[in-house]
Amino acid sequence: MSEIYINIRLGNESEIFSTYQLLNNYPQKNDGLHLYRLGNYYIKKKDYSKAIPLLLQFIKTYEAYFKDPGDFFYSQDEILLRNFYKARVHLKLAECYKKTKQETLRLQHLEHGIHYYHQGKSLPNFTIHIIGSSLFRSLEEYYQEQGERQHHYLDSAQYILDQKNKTFNYKSEPLKYEAILLHHFKGHYASDVQEKEKHYWKSYTLFKSFIGNQLKDEDQLMHFKEMKAIQNEWIDFFSTQYQNTQRLEYLTKTLEIVENLKSNILNKRSSNISNPNFEEYIQQEIVFDTNDHLKQLSPLLDQKTMDQYFEKYYEDKIFISYHLTDNTLLIISYHNGEYTLEKKKIGVSETQILSDLEDAFEKSNYFISRDFIKKLNIVGNQILPESLKHTEKKRVIISTGQALSFIPFEILRYNNEYLIEDFAVSYSFSLHHEYKDAIKRKAIISDKITTFGIAPFASSNLSYSKLEVKNICDDFLINEEANYNTTYQKIKQDHFKTLHFATHTHIDNIPQKSFIKLSPNTGMSDKITFDDIQKLHLSNLELVTLSTCQSANGKYMDGEGSLSLQRAFAYAQIPSIVAGKWNVNDQASSAIMSQFYIYLKEGWDKDIALQKAKLDLLSEKEYLYNNPMFWGSLILTGNTNPITSPSLKVQFLKTLSLY
């Protein structure tokens, strides 16, 4: 019976059905639990038409199994456990009937479930009480949806959890998960604003702790996805409260929730916690509360902590965070000691323009349409905050959400100029990761920048890459030298400060199948995969540059962001990564990278160095000004600090703010 459970946890679909058929055809009578597990599998797949018959068949099979005990004698605990299974299946059926809008059957199964909960609640197992709380919470939800608001089922659910938490104090993850939902619904149905705030915030803090305790990456991301609507409800409430009251506490809570939607796996990796394999996972799960070491990997940033962080690290910078909920774009900025919130409606026409731009970037279409620049103007005026139009600061750090993750903001236009003409632009994986990195990482300034470069196709289809690595790098491998073994041996050397790739990349919808292309060589791999990268020990490096196609792109995952090769290097704890948003032009990329490293060696901050390198190209080749597809692809994400001490020239120009 456990075989079908393990296969369902692993997602081995063919094995699930073969085990199911085996159990169905087994001559000896069984309790039918495989029917429940397969039904639950279909619920997770949202295939309720298949789930419902299996769950109903389980009820019949389970009842028949215990009607004729034969020579068996059942203990009191076994009888109580029987009521637990019945209560659980009725809760699942009520969930199915809710999704299929069969309200009479939904209520019927909720009431059956509560009956069996009362029959089995003396079972010495806290899971029966999670089922009980879920049943009462679901019953309250049912009556609220019917417009009947005088019931107190949430109080009953709260009482059940309170009794158990006297013993477990939210250390049980299933109890915590139920408490998240319970507090959320208490906030959702509360008529008093203070009650809403109390329960929403309690629900969020429990959720943050719960997410931090998930051992497997897949579990983290699953919970972010399944609770997306709830998180958006929190964000909408606190941002609306800020607009109504102008109390800063509401805005910083909004920013905390928004930024927590990004880079949770990265926060684990930065604490040297990897994704366990299945055997490690099972071993961890059977030990009660082994996850204490994972707690608060993503710190809870309150208003005071944010104020202190921004005051220390954003003296000459602006921070902008984006989040799209429904058709409303939230823009939260920190600028000159002040937080601002803008909410902008994204209509059908704006959505279409964003889609057109995304399509052009994805196809790497260098033959841009006549209205391409016009669209950049429209989007720039729509999504760039007002603070950028009235500031003397010249550096911007952007934390994007899913809807805008494909855009390199430096090519957006406002006041008929590109953003890069006035600002050095860089990107943050999330405010939480940025904060942790700043606290953990000591400011180390090197006397010299030493760079290792890789150009496997210098004599074939990337002809400018040879000149690029020769201009930039102290040591390099080109053509057939840049094979897997030689590259790995060189990368492991710890005297390089920067690592530069001028090659091809393959980006797959399954992140683990993305890779950096190397020179083919008999008997060895010709690629460095996503998983290879994140397992590398590259703590000596201050910067990786991927002068490669679409290396900043990847599948977007709620709770993490774009799983790009750029992020793979961040998992390897590289503080700064430059990568491409679309297929880079070999010649233009070579020119930008050469100037970028010149400015880095002069001691410029990384974001300013990249801005200056791009502006140099536009100054030298003015005909490229109106086609940002040639120069806009490469972006910097992560730490912006200089790698080496600034020259006297740089110090003088910075003093006069001439950069």
Structural contact between residues 560 and 545, judged by C-beta atoms closer than 8 angstroms: no
The DSSP-derived string for 198-265 is HHHHHHHHHHHHHHHT--SHHHHHHHHHHTHHHHHHHHHHHHHHHHHH--HHHHHHHHHHHHHTS-HH
CB 643 within 8 A of CB 609: no
Range in 27-31, 86-90, 102-106, 261-265 with the lowest mean pLDDT: 27-31
- 200 vs 295, residue with greater confidence: 200
Helices (H), 389-441: 431-440
Of 62-66, 86-90, 103-107, 628-632, which gets the smallest average pLDDT?
Answer: 62-66
Q: Which of 199-203, 219-223, 234-238 has the lowest mean pLDDT?
A: 219-223
Rg (C-alpha) for the chain, rounded Å, is 28
* Max Cα–Cα distance, the chain, nearest Å: 93
Region of residue 25 (phi > 0: left; psi between -120 and 50: alpha; otherwise: beta): alpha
Q: Are 350 and 381 in contact (CB under 8 A)?
A: no
Q: Are 259 and 229 in contact (CB under 8 A)?
A: no
Chain Cα centroid distance, residue 578? 19
Q: Enter the pTM of the model.
A: 0.90
Going across the sheet that includes 505-506, the strands are 505-506, 515-517, 527-529
pLDDT tens digits for 573-632? 999 999 999 998 889 999 999 999 999 999 999 999 999 999 999 999 999 999 999 999
What is the per-residue pLDDT across 212-234, written as a single tens digit (0 to 9) for each?
888 788 888 888 888 999 999 99
**Under 8 Å between Cβ of 547 and 589:** yes
For 640, half-sphere exposure in the C-beta direction (CA atoms, 13 angstrom radius) is: 25
Rounded mean pLDDT of 514-520? 94
Contact at 8 Å (CB) between 125 and 84? Answer: yes
Is there a contact between 486 and 525 (Cβ–Cβ < 8 Å)?
no
**Hey, is 494 helix, strand or coil?**
coil
State the pLDDT at residue 401: 85
Does residue 328 have a pLDDT over 50?
Answer: yes
pLDDT digits (tens, 9 = 90+) for 519-531: 998 888 999 999 9
CB distance 428 to 398 below 8 Å: yes
Q: Please list, in sequence order, all residues whose beta carbon lies within 8 angstroms of the beta carbon of residue 378, skipping any fewer than 6 positions away.
A: 350, 353
Tokens for 31? 């309790």
Q: Which residues, other chains included, contact 597 with Cβ-Cβ below 8 Å and sequence gap of 6+?
A: 449, 451, 471, 472, 498
Cross-strand partners of 324 = 329
Residue 232's pLDDT is 96
Residue with tokens 């109106």: 626
Determine the pLDDT at residue 540. Answer: 86
CA distances from 567 to 25, 345, 415, 453, 515 (A): 48, 30, 33, 20, 12
109-165 pLDDT, tens digit each? 999 999 999 999 988 888 899 999 999 999 999 999 998 876 789 999 999 988 877
Measured distance CA(319)–CA(316) in Å, rounded: 10
**Nearest Cα to 59, choosing from 81, 88, 29, 101?**
88
So what's the pLDDT on residue 255? 97
The predicted pLDDT at position 1 comes to: 45
Contact 636, 615 (CB under 8 A): no
Reading phi first (left if > 0) and then psi (alpha if -120 to 50, else beta), residue 519 is in: beta
Evaluated on CA atoms 433, 437, 438, 444, the torsion sign reads negative
Task: Compute the average pLDDT of residues 525-554.
Answer: 91
Task: Determine the pLDDT at residue 9.
Answer: 45
Q: Work out the percent of the chain whose per-residue pLDDT is above 90.
A: 63
Sorted by sequence, the CB contacts under 8 Å of residue 465 that are 6+ apart come out as 455, 457, 458, 478, 502, 503, 547, 586, 590
Q: How far apart are the first and last CA of the chain?
A: 68
Residues 185, 381: Cα–Cα separation, whole Å: 38
3-state secondary structure 122-181: CCCCCHHHHHHHHHHHHHHHHHHHCCCCCCCHHHHHHHHHHHHHHHHCCCCHHHHHHHHH
